[in-house]
Amino acid sequence: MIQRKQVTSQDVALRAGVSRTTVSLVLNNKHELSQISPKTAQRVIRAAQELGYVPNAAAQALVNKKASVIGLVLSRSHHQISSDVYLTQVVDALMLEAHQNQMRVLLDVLENHEDRNSYQRLIQGRLVDGILFSGPRTDDRALDLLAKMDFPTVLMGGLPGSPFYSVDIDNIQAAKLATQHLISLGHQRIGCITNATPVFTAAADRLRGYRLALQENHLPIDDRLVRFGDFDPPSGYRAMQGLLSVQPNPTAVFVASDVVAYGAMSALHDAGKNIPEDVAIVSMDDVPLSAFISPRLTSVHLPNSKLAQSAGSLLIDLINGNRPARKQIILDTHLVIRESCGSQLRMNSQ
Amino acid sequence: MIQRKQVTSQDVALRAGVSRTTVSLVLNNKHELSQISPKTAQRVIRAAQELGYVPNAAAQALVNKKASVIGLVLSRSHHQISSDVYLTQVVDALMLEAHQNQMRVLLDVLENHEDRNSYQRLIQGRLVDGILFSGPRTDDRALDLLAKMDFPTVLMGGLPGSPFYSVDIDNIQAAKLATQHLISLGHQRIGCITNATPVFTAAADRLRGYRLALQENHLPIDDRLVRFGDFDPPSGYRAMQGLLSVQPNPTAVFVASDVVAYGAMSALHDAGKNIPEDVAIVSMDDVPLSAFISPRLTSVHLPNSKLAQSAGSLLIDLINGNRPARKQIILDTHLVIRESCGSQLRMNSQ
DNA sequence: CTATTCTAATAACACGTGTTAGTAACGCGT
DNA sequence: ACGCGTTACTAACACGTGTTATTAGAATAG
């Protein structure tokens, strides 16, 4: 590969007629401390511009012991990433936050949860200065390693009992809120489809919120009415088919994720059931698309961008050596009522 | 920040009782050439494992003149990224391909299209070895800079007359195929909603395909029936409202993107129109979700994963110094017929 | 016993940057 | 004339790695 030779600070120094040190001082704005005459400073800046000098990132990283890169680690398998709808929001907000701090974002998947090696090159190799961890799993052994070396790490989504900083919503409360809404509409027999298997803490918490809501309203808990989704629409489709095989059918279903809910709704449609007349649906996540499908999805809104931004900001704090006292940040959620729950239907008929 | 001291190759050398050079040779599997006895090799490997040695990425990048990182550059504004549904597929496939070549993926947005500076730190700073460019714009001035330095670059989506390698589908042909399908169902008055403004080449091409199909079938072209989407559902909603204000209404609409189509369908729904009875819809992209909304969307399937994988593979080739003869790779598309076009309706009634 | 080849390893340099310690030149007071 | 502080810069080291030229020692040949 023919690559034009890199312009180094030495070249700039030569052209400006000064030493390389002077170039470094001027370009990093340390010349006021070091008493460098404004005249030479100007000459250096001119020379740098004329040559199109850009400092070598690797060299800077080496000497500064700072890569100026934060890692976003996804703890899901590949098929799950493909149908992940928040990812774009997270990535977007994170990049914005990173750029404001002269940092960049490196993306990585954690494919094998047993494999500590996959972390090592990333972290001990100092390729990134900190890690943002999306969707932690309770069975992730590699996280222990991270904790031991107190490497700057922030979790998006909590991991109970872990020593990490984290940014999250109150999943239990949010799921309870959603289920409660269905109860307040008069439903007695309410099913649940989770967003994922319970090894993901968010999934376990949402299921718990659903059960709590039933308990507090003295409704019976029927485990046949609980099905497990797996991030994508097909899993929701299958889960809903499962629910429909239980007699009597539930009159409402709390689905713990919009994307899974799409599949569930499709299954209802294919079974000839109307939403919300035959089966009402309340979901969680409030993905942008959910306001545009029909029927419009009633869903608990998650502040994804804000979540990612807070997480990014917190991580950068950690990287800079600050240790905020508050280890957990919990952001607020709220229910967005649309058509799939049948609220409007009720209001009209009353 | 208290950070445990990094384990260097010097530490390994000390522990194994050899020189640093020997450590490097052994760990990079060059010891066969250099006549290092198997016994010392074993000793070195043991020592490295015991200390948990991981080479410093910055130092390696500096001396090898290779960052082992490829950059994925998104040329869209932030709100457009948030509602981008292919991004996850692209990212996923790209990471898979990168990992197989011991590379990582750095994500970046290009916010200001006039600003050459944003490229400079990335490329001239040697932070990445190559760039994968998603969604090039005809008005992107910064691309010229890239071309001049012949930096390894691959475009996802073509840019006519540009000197870059690219991976794409035949947008004109695909759009033509979709429109043709509507024509074959007997529609005479067919509207079009683009996926984006025409500065994006893909949007311009799809519009052209639509017009070609009309021409070849001797149907009149009515520019009032062409509206421009802007990546997200709301833009599709507004565009469809615009189309419905034209009398007589179109009986079918080709929407050049699934996500935009969701908005368009929502507008039809709100206007009391049935799909496909009143207005038939054919779209492009075939996002996974499209099989699960109702009515199920008829759409031209794009091989997004394959596209990203090919692009990644091509880019890695370029980085390694190969110059494949074929500058453009065009992948195949096919129409997936579902409910929104009304094909099945027709077949039943016939 | 010396010259030559072969083996096994290393000293030394290069990559491009940030920073510390140090040094000329110069004015100034005594 | 000499010491002393100030100004304006630079020589030299450090960061951690890959690689080239070189060396010390042993084995072999003459």
Residue-wise pLDDT tens for chain B (350 aa)? 344 578 999 999 999 999 999 999 999 987 666 678 888 899 999 999 999 999 999 999 999 999 999 999 987 766 677 767 788 888 989 999 999 999 999 999 877 655 666 677 788 899 999 999 887 777 777 777 778 778 899 999 888 888 899 999 999 999 999 999 999 999 999 999 999 999 889 999 999 999 999 999 999 999 999 999 999 999 999 999 999 999 999 999 999 999 999 999 999 999 999 999 999 999 999 998 999 999 999 999 999 889 999 999 999 999 999 999 888 999 999 999 999 999 876 555 44
**Nearest DNA or RNA nucleotide to A126 (CA to C1'):** D16
What is the Cα–Cα distance from A251 to A273, expressed in whole angstroms? 11
Q: Give pLDDT, residue B261.
A: 97
In tens, the pLDDT along B184-196 reads 999 999 999 999 9
Contact B265 A108 (CB under 8 A): no
Judging by beta carbons within 10 Å of its beta carbon (0-12, 13-18, 19+), is residue A116 exposed, middle or buried? middle
Check B289 against A233: CB less than 8 A apart: yes
B298 and B308, same domain (yes or no):
no
DSSP state of B299: E
**Nearest nucleic acid nucleotide to B36, CA to C1' distance:** C8
Contact A292 B92 (CB under 8 A): no
A252 Cβ within 7 A of any nucleic strand C atom: no
Task: Name the region of B149 (left: φ>0; alpha: ψ -120 to 50; beta: rest).
Answer: alpha
Helix axes of B57-64 and A57-64: crossing angle, nearest 10 degrees: 140
| Nucleic strand C contacts from chain B, 258-287, CB < 7 Å | none
Residues B227 and B344 in one domain: yes
Window A:183-222, CB contacts with B under 8 Å = none
Nearest to A312 by CA among A92, A147, A127: A92
Which tens digit of pLDDT belongs to each residue from A139-178? Answer: 777 777 778 778 899 999 888 888 899 999 999 999 999 9
Report if residue B237 sits inside a domain. yes
Is B60 a domain residue? Answer: no
A181 domain residue, yes or no: yes
Pairing relation of β-strands B226-227 and A334-336?
A: unpaired
Same domain, B258 and B326: no
* Cα–Cα distance for residue pair B131/B149, rounded to 1 Å: 13
Let me know if residue B63 belongs to a domain. Answer: no
Model pLDDT, residue B150 = 80
Query: Is A1 domain-assigned?
Result: no
Q: Which nucleotides of D are covered by protein (CB under 7 A)?
A: 7-12, 14-20
Residue A212 lies in a domain: yes
User: Which pLDDT score, from 0 to 100, does residue A146 have?
Assistant: 78
Q: Which of A15, A76, A71, A4 is nearest to A44 (CA)?
A: A15
What does the pLDDT look like over B60-82, one tens digit per residue? 999 999 999 999 998 776 667 77
**Residue A112, SS3 per DSSP:** coil
Q: CATH code at B134? A: 3.40.50.2300
User: In angstroms, how far is C5 C1' from B47 CA?
Assistant: 33
Tell me which residue of A231, A216, A289, A222 sits closest to A263, measured CA to CA.
A231
Distance A11 CA to C17 C1' (A): 13
Q: For residue B32, what are its two tokens?
A: 């066969």
A108 touches chain B (CB under 8 A): yes
3-class DSSP state of A200: strand
Parts of chain A with a pLDDT under 50: 1-3, 349-350
| Integer Cα distance of B53 and B44 in angstroms | 11
Strand D and A62 CB separated by under 7 Å: yes
Q: How many angstroms separate the CA atoms of B320 and B293, rounded? A: 44
Count structural domains, chain B. 3
> Based on the domain organization, do A75 and A224 belong to the same domain?
no
- Domain assignment present for residue A62? The answer is no
- Predicted local confidence at residue A116, as pLDDT: 62
Question: In which domain, by residue range, is A45 found?
Answer: 9-55
Report CA torsion sign: B224, B230, B231, B235. negative
Same domain, A184 and A96: no
Q: Is the peptide bond before A288 cis (omega within 30 degrees of 0)?
A: no
Residue A275 lies in a domain: yes
Burial A269-294 (b: 16+ CB within 10 A, else e): beeeeebbeebbbbbbbbbbbbbbbb
- Cβ separation A88–B85 shorter than 8 A: yes
CA distance A93 to A58: 26
- Does residue A339 sit in the same domain as residue A327? no
A/B interface, count of CB pairs below 8 Å: 192
